[in-house]
Amino acid sequence: MPGALYPGSFDPPTHGHLDLVRRAAAAFGRVVVAVAENPEKSALFSVKERLEMLREVTAGIAGAEVSSYSGLTVEAARGRGCTVIFRGVRSVTDFEYEFSMTMTSRVLAPDVDTVFVMPSAEWAFLSSRLVREVARLGGDVSRFVPESVAKRLREKLGGKGARKS
């Protein structure tokens, strides 16, 4: 089954990401959640840790697979048999960035399309960057991430943030 590739950094995975994974799986039958390996970004969690977290939190979502990739996203989609790149867009700024990436991807791979989806209202403000920042400053992020992710944030940050419920 072809399906969709949902690429991102997922550093860390949030409830907003999971909302999009569920929606992509429902729409396309199969969604490959793909952690982008980007050595130019400094991540809180390693690619291996992000893959582990994503496998834990998507285990109950039918049609969801988890992998990582480096290089071009369109090539990652092709390599996994996906004909669609699935992207969440929260704001006009997100859209402008995603739009230019999509236009470039169309030139490189006209056989791979991109679908933009607005997040559910309750997660429209949420980003991994925001979760990391709040957690680093000692704030409680347990409402924004699954408990297994909150636990890893506590461990990574020496007990700060992601208060245990």
Catalytic residues: 17, 41, 90, 128
Nearest to 64 by CA among 21, 126, 102: 21
Cα–Cα dist 89/115, whole Å: 10
* Per-residue exposure over 132-152, b if at least 16 CB sit within 10 Å of its own CB, e if not: bebbeeeeebbebbbeebbeb
**What is the identity of the amino acid at 81?**
G
Spell out where the chain has E strands: 4-8, 31-36, 64-69, 84-88, 113-117
